[in-house]
Amino acid sequence: MKIISWNVNGLRAVSKKGFADWLKKESPDVLGLQEIKCESSQVPNELKYVEGYKTYFNPAARKGYSGTGLFTKIEPVSIKTGFGIEKFDIEGRIQEVDYGDFIFFNIYFPNGKSREDRLQYKLDFYDASLEYFDKLVKAGRKILIAGDYNTAHNEIDLARPKENEEISGFLPIERKWMDALVARGYIDCFREFEKGPNNYTWWSMRSWARTRNVGWRIDYFFCSANARSLVKNCYHLPDVIGSDHCPVVLEI
């Protein structure tokens, strides 16, 4: 089973860049999208009705902002769109998809760069999500957590760590939450298979950063410890363009 996570930085925009052809060719069993930036009514028909897939979209209350989307060949048992906390749920950042044997989370974690209150919002979202995950794991559920986490965990996860130590996305307080995630037993699936440097998932659109591979690894699949036996491989698709992020693939 192949699951793909991708921050498309606008579903309408990426639809004009060969997204439908890519989806047909790659043919994942499950595709979780982040930052769709559109309401369900604005999704192009060629993406709303894709042969072989059921589609579910979770837009933000604010137009043209945030939002998540799901394409799935497998009928979910259920889908939830939030943690039950209004200030988080209204931004369309969460899709919790129960497939029976495991729960798949498609999450667009907040960006904290714009101002101090958004950084605090991001940290609060982090804490709420970890508490939510832990409850499910304690209840015996296996979980897979995909998405744009908006933080590079370790120095190996970005090209220029020293220059970004005071930038949101690599602040000590953000990285500390990533440490806590690992300490609670959650596993960075990509690092189970690839230990080396220069593996990134996001590149600035400025200064030919992608061409020069000056990037950040901020898009992840984490799994709960009890789900590790499901994971067979995890890798990036850096050659897939259309967004400033690249897709991440999990095989289970």
Q: Residue 59: which CATH number?
A: 3.60.10.10
The pLDDT assigned to 206 comes to 87
Cβ neighbours around 112 below 10 Å, total:
24
Domain count, the chain: 1
150-175: buried (b, 16+ CB within 10 Å) or exposed (e) per residue? bbbbeeebbbeeeebeeebbbbeebb
Residues with catalytic roles: 148
- Buried b / exposed e over 92-106, threshold 16 CB at 10 Å, is bbbbbbbbeebbbbb
Spans of the chain, pLDDT less than 50: none
**How far is Cα 6 from Cα 36, in angstroms, rounded to an integer?**
10
| DSSP assigned state of 61 | S
Tokens 């979770």 label which residue? 58
Question: According to the model, what pLDDT value does residue 205 have?
Answer: 92
Q: Give the separation between CA 207 and CA 229, rounded to whole angstroms.
A: 41
Q: pTM for the full model?
A: 0.97
**What φ, ψ does residue 217 adopt, rounded to 5°?**
-100, 100
pLDDT digits (tens, 9 = 90+) for 87-120: 999 999 999 999 999 999 999 999 988 789 999 9
Q: Which domain holds residue 68?
A: 2-251
Nearest alpha carbon to residue 9 among 35, 42, 40 = 35
pLDDT of residue 115: 82
Q: What is the pLDDT of residue 113?
A: 82
